[in-house]
Chain A
Amino acid sequence: MTSCHIAEEPIKKIAIFGGTHGNELTGVFLVKHWLENGAEIQRTGLEVKPFITNPRAVKKCTRYIDCDLNRIFDLENLGKKMSEDLPYEVRRAQEIYHLFGPKDGEDSYDIIFDLHNTTSNMGCTLILEDSRNNFLIQMFHYIKTSLAPLPCYVYLIEHPSLKYATTRSIAKYPVGIEVGPQPQGVLRADILDQMRKMIKHALDFIHHFNEGKEFPPCAIEVYKIIEKVDYPRDENGEIAAVIHPNLQDQDWKPLHPGDPMFLTLDGKTMSLGGDCTVYPVFVNEAAYYEKKEAFAKTTKLTLNAKSIRCSVH
């Protein structure tokens, strides 16, 4: 059987977003640095544009001004009539959409990398929105292999109700890059180095692809979101228990039924019920207290990608 590969169009325009959340500093400072000196992110034949998506939040070093920019790139918000009364981030989303989108438009961006940090111990994480995207699975496989032995995890947020309308989703190939743990408002050199390496490998992959390299079929392990788990709360809605010390910092590690999840202020342990092992992520993310998410349960599965090659060669 001849090798069945997907012939993809060459990649022409890439954007790298930082500051979608203004207090996640690695992306903010990488983008600001590249705006002054972009040599590191240039590749022949590619336009790579670094961009600060939420400048007001960056200036205030806060996650957002009115609402979370990374949740509002849905049709309803993008379609609202522009007015001063709209939340800042909704107006900003529309500006970003006009600059970088729409998907499959003539001048739109092929790939958007959106740079994030988390307070959770998630290490280097790539976020995938579509399980059937051969090109991105191949890219992620390349990044993971290049980073090894440094672990790099893939989080799949494809889900009928839990998937959210991200800033990067306006591109044909949206890539979330999440590195932690890093406190909000802090810039750590080690985390910066890891994110920088992830971007370098991603750009190298795209460059090799454009040059005509064929990437053979591959498989990657991914963690697919099942459900979000809130903190136990009291009758006033206040948090009544903390992430248990056994679960704290254990992102990506198996959590079995009966394993501790939460510790109440009175010292009682609350354990995982049901009969399935899950893989928790975003364990104790600061920004998710208000979203009522203590951690997300994921299941581990393998995604396969067909061979790909740039159609121009």
Chain B
Amino acid sequence: MCSLPVPREPLRRVAVTGGTHGNEMSGVYLAQHWLQAPAELQRLSFSAVPVLANPAATAACCRYVDHDLNRAFTSSFLNSRPTPDDPYEVTRARELNQLLGPKASGRAFDFVLDLHNTTANMGTCLIAKSSHEVFAMHLCRHLQLQYPELSCQVFLCQRSGEESYNLDSVAKNGLALELGPQPQGVLRADIFSRMRTLVATVLDFIELFNQGTAFPAFEMEAYRPVGVVDFPCTDAGNLAGTVHPQLQDRDFQPLQPGAPIFQMFSGEDLLYDEESTVYPVFINEAAYYEKGIAFVQTEKFTFTVPAMPVLNPVPSPTS
């Protein structure tokens, strides 16, 4: 695992990516809007670049054309020799790696913010790789403090020993915003507006950092995955039931052993038969049916985030 150090220089090269999944509409519409009118992405010390990550999937209003783009950023995909038969998204991942990376190199962008929606009731979820991402952790804390009414939850998605595979991992620092619930292909005004405001605040935070603001150490609470649970299936491989009404929409709430998790079409309940309490997320996410995931089991934990280095303020452009 390559843990890049905390930034010691201002962040100059920043990108905001939408449409990584072409049917997650908040990011699609924001990216398309900013490509026409980028002014709101400008700050004194930098301007964020908008990117429509998956144009073909966006045009077709589907999650992906050949392969999930947000799983295509492993070194195996990025560094293998291109062939004419490569899936669309593998080719596109390499292009994005050229634009925003190369991943794990000194030339990579300083920060990428990737915009997503989920059909799960995850509210405002901030997704970073791990607790070691000091800059991202301070950013999450800032968002939580700015918007206490949103109850932003932090989900640290990388499992130990696993290589990162998502789009924002190509940059030196990254974060994904995951807002739901919103159906695929639907643009809700409330979620759109919240996403837009959060992006602005992320850029404000980067500006604050660049201007020499101090960010002291603090304690953070976050969720990390410990497993997944698939839907119950018949012998023929068809769905035999669905998420129980008592679990549906209860993302980030504790799930105790013995609680019902699935309701079978024939009427009976399936109970959670593992031994510890977990915090389920991505409960009944449409895109995860094909990945064999009815929900992701997470554990809640607390850790200390060290203070960030204080930069010398950026000189004003007009002196």
Contacts and interface: CB of A to CB of B under 8 A. Distances in A.
A, B co-complexed:
yes
Interface of A: 29-30, 32-33, 36-37, 61-62, 119, 181-190, 192-193, 238-239, 242-245, 248, 263, 265, 284-287, 289-290
Nearest to B290: A61
18 contacts: A183-B119, A183-B286, A184-B185, A185-B119, A185-B287, A186-B183, A188-B248, A189-B244, A189-B248, A190-B245, A190-B248, A239-B29, A242-B189, A248-B190, A284-B187, A286-B185, A289-B61, A289-B185
Contacts of B77: none
Contacts of B62: 62
Contacts of B193: 245
Contacts, number: 91
Contacts of B244: 189
Interface of B is mostly: loop
Interface of B: 29, 32-33, 61-62, 119, 181-190, 192-193, 234, 238-239, 242-245, 248, 263, 265-266, 284-287, 289-290
A119 B184 CA distance: 9
Contact of A245 (B189, B243, B289): B189
A265 B248 contact: no
Nearest to B285: A186
A185 B286 contact: yes
A239 B193 CA distance: 16
A242 B181 contact: no
Nearest to B188: A248
Given A187-B243, A245-B193, 13 more contacts: A61-B289, A62-B62, A119-B185, A182-B183, A183-B119, A184-B184, A185-B184, A187-B242, A188-B243, A189-B248, A248-B190, A284-B187, A290-B61
A244 B192 CA distance: 11
B38 to A, nearest CB: 13
A182 B182 CA distance: 10
A8 to B, nearest CB: 33
A243 B189 CA distance: 6
A184 B190 CA distance: 20
A29 B265 contact: yes
B83 to A, nearest CB: 26
A13 to B, nearest CB: 24
A186 B186 contact: no
A265 B119 contact: no
* Interface-centre pick from B32, B182, B183, B289 (highest chain A CB count, 10 A): B183
Nearest 7 Cβ contacts at the A-B interface = A183-B183, A185-B286, A286-B185, A33-B265, A119-B183, A183-B119, A242-B189
A239 B188 CA distance: 13
A265 B188 contact: no
A250 B61 CA distance: 25
A193 B29 CA distance: 34
A289 B61 CA distance: 10
A212 to B, nearest CB: 32
B284 A287 contact: no
Contacts of A285: 186
Nearest to A63: B185
Contact of B242 (A192, A239, A245, A265): A192
B184 A248 contact: no
Given A29-B239, A33-B265, A286-B183, A186 B286 contact: yes
A238 B59 CA distance: 11
Contacts of A245: 189-190, 193
Given A189-B244, A189-B248, A190-B248, A119 B186 contact: yes
A239 B182 CA distance: 18
Contacts of A119: 183, 185-186
B192 A242 contact: yes
B184 A286 contact: yes
B284 A186 contact: yes
Contacts of B263: 189
A183 B189 contact: no
A102 to B, nearest CB: 32
* Interface-centre pick from B61, B184, B186, B190 (highest chain A CB count, 10 A): B186
